[in-house]
Amino acid sequence: MDLQQLTQLSHQVAEVARQAGQFIRQEAASFDRGRVENKGLHDMVSYVDQESERIVVAGLRALLPEAGFITEEGTAGPANRAEQFTWIIDPLDGTTNFIHGLPVYSVSIALMQGAELVVGVVYEVNQDETFRAVRGGGAFANERPIRVSDAPTLSKSLVSTGFPYSNFNRIDPYLGMLKEFMRETNGVRRVGSAAIDLAWVAAGRFEAFFEFNINSYDVAAGILLVREAGGRVTQFLEDGDPIFNREIIASNGHVHDEMMQIIRPFWE
């Protein structure tokens, strides 16, 4: 697809995300915690996640019937990374926040064309904020162009992260990194939705975000947002593509090397 086609598609994807977000918002008003299931240790899912994903999958299939799907809840069937187009979906990123009534959660949708991210949409449900990016076409929040922060150093930066909830094998090096970031930055925040963390890096609200043991559907759309807003995204120790590698640093670019220098001694 060319830029014009991808841009048109991105607007349609944003509408699908908003439709799912409207359903989530309606359910939040009367949500019953008794309808929560556990997929694993501290890994919860609700009927809201599953129904939101069905809404998203149905909408995207209508737009691009030939595409494969990688989804968190598996409602589209087994993960299928197609040769040409693949959707990567988190229908409710921030499930724990949602279940506890903390109003920070999102719908995340990305499209890969071959091995490249070409469309990314993150819809923040409670603030009704749509973040949208197209490869080569820039990044937007509610259709206003966004750029990463111009803060030059970590000492002038607000950094976000996520805490591991199932794999604690590297908790000690992670806590070591966290202490260093607490010392070297304006502060560290844990929002509870990686998709929102990345969207807020793209919008210049955070200077950087880092997390490990993370999934492709948590970060795919946000990675494109950050890159199209002028930022940089890598793995912890190298420039390899972080979509499927379960660790990520995303930043405004200026503070990226500083972050890698802090992380390296704990992660090597």
Break the chain into its structural domains and give their ranges.
3-145, 154-267
Q: Where are the beta strands (DSSP E) in the chain?
A: 36-40, 43-46, 68-71, 85-93, 106-113, 116-124, 129-134, 138-141, 144-145, 158-161, 187-189, 208-212, 232-234, 247-251
Which residue numbers belong to the known binding site? Answer: 72, 90, 92-93, 218
- Separation CA 53–CA 89 (nearest Å): 8
- Residue-level pLDDT at 33: 66
Over residues 109-137, the pLDDT tens digits come to 999 999 999 999 999 999 999 999 999 99
For residues 38 and 78, the answer to whether their CB atoms sit within 8 Å is: no
Residue 116 has, within 13 A of its CA and on its CB side, a CA count of 8
Which residue numbers belong to the known binding site for Mg(2+)? Answer: 72, 90, 92-93, 218
Q: Do domains 3-145 and 154-267 have the same CATH topology?
A: no
CATH number of 154-267: 3.40.190.80
- Separation CA 244–CA 194 (nearest Å): 14
CATH number of 3-145: 3.30.540.10
Report which of residues 169 and 96 the model is more confident about.
Answer: 96
For residues 120 and 231, the answer to whether their CB atoms sit within 8 Å is: no
Predicted confidence band of residue 42 (pLDDT cuts 50, 70, 90): very low
- Separation CA 126–CA 96 (nearest Å): 15
Query: How many H-runs (helices) and E-runs (strands) does the chain carry?
Result: 7, 14
Predicted confidence band of residue 268 (pLDDT cuts 50, 70, 90): confident
Predicted confidence band of residue 170 (pLDDT cuts 50, 70, 90): confident
- Separation CA 238–CA 249 (nearest Å): 10
3-state helix, strand and coil shares in percent for the chain, rounded to the nearest 5: 40, 25, 35
